Structure 1
Amino acid sequence: MTLELGQPRAVRRFAPLLAAGFVAAYLDRVNISFAKDALAGAAGLTTGAFGFGAGLFFAGYVAAEVPANMAMVRVGGRVWLSSLLILWGFLSALTAAVSSPLQFYALRVLLGVVEAGFFPGAVAYLGRWTSVSGRGWTTAILLLAIPLSGVLGGVASGGIVAGLDGRLGLEGWRWLFLIEGALPVALGLTCFRLLVDDSGVPRAPGPGGVADVVSALLDRAVWRIALLDGANLLSLYLVTFWLPYSIGQRGVTSAFDNGLLSVCPSLLAIPCMLVNGWHSDLTRERRAHIAGPMVLGATALMLSGFAPSFWAFMVLVSVGEAGLLAAIPAYWSIPGSLGAGRDSAITIAVASAIANLAGMGSTMLAGYIISQPGGIRMAFVVLPLTTAVASLSVCRIPRWIAV
Structure 2
Amino acid sequence: MSVATNSTKELLDTPVLKSAIAKASRRLMPMLVILYVVAFLDRTNVGFAEAALEVDRGITAGAYALGAGIFFIGYALFEIPSNLLLTKFGAKVWLARIAITWGIVSACFAFVQGETSFIILRFLLGVTEAGLFPGVIMFLAAWFPNKVRVKMFAIFYLAQPFSQMMGAPLSGWLINIGDQVPGVAGWQVMFFVEGMLAVLAGIAAYFFLINSPQDAKFLTKEEKKALSDVMALEDTVKEETGPRGVLASMRNGRVWYFTVIYFCLQVAVYGVTFYLPQQVAQLTGQKVGIAVGLLAAIPWFFGIFACYFIGKAANTVARRRRWGTALFISTGLCIFGSAWAGANQMPAIGIIFITLAVCSFLSTGPICWSYPTAFLTGTAAAAGIGLINSLGNLGGFVAPILRTSVNQITASDTGTMGVYALGVLPFVAALLMFGTKRFSNKADELLEK
Report the TM-score when normalising by structure 2.
Answer: 0.83
The whole-number CA distance in structure 1 between the counterparts of 2:355 and 2:376 is: 36
The reply to whether residue 400 of structure 1 matches residue 440 of structure 2 is yes
The whole-number CA distance in structure 1 between the counterparts of 2:187 and 2:374 is: 43
**Where does structure 1 lack aligned partners over 5 or more consecutive residues?**
none
Q: Is the 8 A contact 2:331 2:426 kept in 1?
A: no
Q: Cα gap change, 1:11/1:199 in structure 2, threshold over 3 Å: closer, same or farther?
A: closer
Q: Partner of 1:268 in structure 2?
A: 302
Match of 2:122 among 85, 98, 108: 108
The reply to whether residue 335 of structure 1 matches residue 372 of structure 2 is yes
Task: Compute the displacement of 1:254 (Å).
Answer: 4.8
The whole-number CA distance in structure 1 between the counterparts of 2:365 and 2:152 is: 12
Task: Compute the displacement of 1:284 (Å).
Answer: 6.4
Q: Partner of 1:24 in structure 2?
A: 38
**Where does structure 2 lack aligned partners over 5 or more consecutive residues?**
1-15, 216-227
Tell me whether 141-150 or 5-14 shows the greater mean CA deviation. Answer: 5-14
The reply to whether residue 9 of structure 1 matches residue 23 of structure 2 is yes
Q: Superposition pairs for residues 2-401 of structure 1, below 5 Å?
A: 7-167=21-181, 169-198=183-212, 212-250=245-283, 251-281=285-315, 285-307=319-341, 308=344, 309-339=346-376, 342-371=379-408, 372-374=411-413, 376-397=415-436, 398-401=438-441
Tell me whether 249-258 or 79-88 shows the greater mean CA deviation. Answer: 249-258
Identical aligned residues as a percent: 29
1:330-358 residue CA offsets vs partner (Å, 9 max, x unmatched): 11122111236654333211111121122
The whole-number CA distance in structure 2 between the counterparts of 1:283 and 1:132 is: 11
Task: Compute the displacement of 1:155 (Å).
Answer: 0.9
Amino acid at match of 1:298: G
The whole-number CA distance in structure 1 between the counterparts of 2:57 and 2:398 is: 22
1:64-86 residue CA offsets vs partner (Å, 9 max, x unmatched): 11110011011110000001111
What is the RMSD of the two structures over their aligned residues, measured on CA atoms?
2.3
Task: Compute the displacement of 1:40 (Å).
Answer: 2.3
The whole-number CA distance in structure 2 between the counterparts of 1:244 and 1:348 is: 31
Q: Is the 8 A contact 1:216 1:347 kept in 2?
A: yes
The whole-number CA distance in structure 1 between the counterparts of 2:280 and 2:268 is: 17
Amino acid at match of 1:118: L
The whole-number CA distance in structure 2 between the counterparts of 1:76 and 1:299 is: 42
Q: Cα gap change, 1:131/1:376 in structure 2, threshold over 3 Å: closer, same or farther?
A: same
The whole-number CA distance in structure 1 between the counterparts of 2:197 and 2:380 is: 30
**Is the partner of 1:38 in helix, strand or coil?**
helix
Q: Cα gap change, 1:368/1:49 in structure 2, threshold over 3 Å: closer, same or farther?
A: farther
Give the number of the structure whose alpha-carbon radius of gyration is greater. Answer: 2
The whole-number CA distance in structure 1 between the counterparts of 2:105 and 2:213 is: 28
The whole-number CA distance in structure 2 between the counterparts of 1:166 and 1:212 is: 55
